[in-house]
Structure 1
Amino acid sequence: MASGPLDVIEDADALARAAERLHAGEGPVAVDAERANGFRYTAKAYLVQLHRRGTGTVLIDPTAIDDLSPIQDAIGGEEWIIHAASQDLPCLREVGLEPATLFDTELGARIAGFERVGLAAVTERLVGLRLRKEHGASDWSARPIPRSWLEYAALDVEVLPDARDALAAELEAQGKQEIAEQEFAYALARRPKPPAEEPWRRLSGIHAIRDRRQLAVARELWLARDALARDTDTAPGRLVPDRSLLAAAMADVEAKGRLAARKDFTGRASRSELDRWWAAIEAGRASDDLPVLRVRSDEPPPPRFWKSRRPEADLRLQRARAAVQAVAEELAMPAENLLTPDALRRVAWEPIEPTEAAVAAALRARDARPWQVAATAQRIAAAFVEPDQAPAQPSEPSS
Structure 2
Amino acid sequence: EHLRGFEPTPRVDAWRRTSGLHRVRGRRSLGAVKALWETRDQIAEARDVTPSRIIPDAAIIAAATALPTDRAGLLATKGFHGRGAERYSSRWISVLSEVAALEESELPTRTPRTDGPPMPRAWAEKDPVAARRLAHARDAMATLAEEQGLPVENLVVPDSLRRTLWTPPSTREPEALAAAVAEQLAGYSARPWQIELVTPVITAAILAGDVEPPAPPAAPEPDPDLGPDADPED
TM-score (ref. length: structure 2)? 0.57
Amino acid of the structure 2 residue aligned with 1:383: A
Give 2:231's aligned residue: none
Give 2:179's aligned residue: 361
Cα distance in structure 2, aligned partners of 1:217 and 1:311: 41
Q: What secondary structure sits across from 2:210 in the alignment? A: helix
Cα distance in structure 2, aligned partners of 1:332 and 1:203: 33
Q: CA deviation at 1:341?
A: 3.1
Question: Any unmatched runs of 5+ in structure 1?
Answer: 1-80, 88-191, 393-399
Amino acid of the structure 1 residue aligned with 2:209: F
Q: What secondary structure sits across from 1:86 in the alignment? A: coil
CA contact (8 A) 2:164 2:181 kept: yes
Give 1:112's aligned residue: none
CA contact (8 A) 1:212 1:292 kept: yes
Q: CA deviation at 1:321?
A: 1.0
Q: CA deviation at 1:327?
A: 4.3
Residues 20-62 of structure 1, C-alpha deviations (whole Å, 9 max, x = no match)? xxxxxxxxxxxxxxxxxxxxxxxxxxxxxxxxxxxxxxxxxxx
CA contact (8 A) 1:343 1:363 kept: no
Cα distance in structure 2, aligned partners of 1:378 and 1:212: 42
CA contact (8 A) 1:323 1:379 kept: no
Question: Any unmatched runs of 5+ in structure 2?
Answer: 187-193, 216-234
Give 2:65's aligned residue: 250
Give 2:204's aligned residue: 379
Aligned Cα root-mean-square deviation (Å): 4.4
CA contact (8 A) 2:133 2:209 kept: yes
Give 1:293's aligned residue: 108
Cα distance in structure 2, aligned partners of 1:349 and 1:82: 27
CA contact (8 A) 1:204 1:243 kept: no
Q: Which has the higher strand share?
A: 1
Give 2:164's aligned residue: 347
Give 1:216's aligned residue: 31
Residues 200-226 of structure 1, C-alpha deviations (whole Å, 9 max, x = no match)? x54243675562211332344346546
Output aligned runs, 1:18-167, within 5 Å: 84-86=4-6
Give 2:47's aligned residue: 233
Give 1:203's aligned residue: 15
CA contact (8 A) 2:28 2:107 kept: no
Q: CA deviation at 1:349?
A: 0.6
Residues 333, 363 of structure 1: alpha-carbon distance in 2 compared, 3 angstrom cutoff:
farther
Residues 364, 213 of structure 1: alpha-carbon distance in 2 compared, 3 angstrom cutoff:
same
Residues 226, 373 of structure 1: alpha-carbon distance in 2 compared, 3 angstrom cutoff:
closer
Cα distance in structure 1, aligned partners of 2:56 and 2:167: 39
Cα distance in structure 2, aligned partners of 1:279 and 1:370: 46
> Greater relative contact order (Cα 8 A, min sep 6): structure 1 or 2?
2
CA contact (8 A) 1:355 1:382 kept: no
Amino acid of the structure 2 residue aligned with 1:86: F
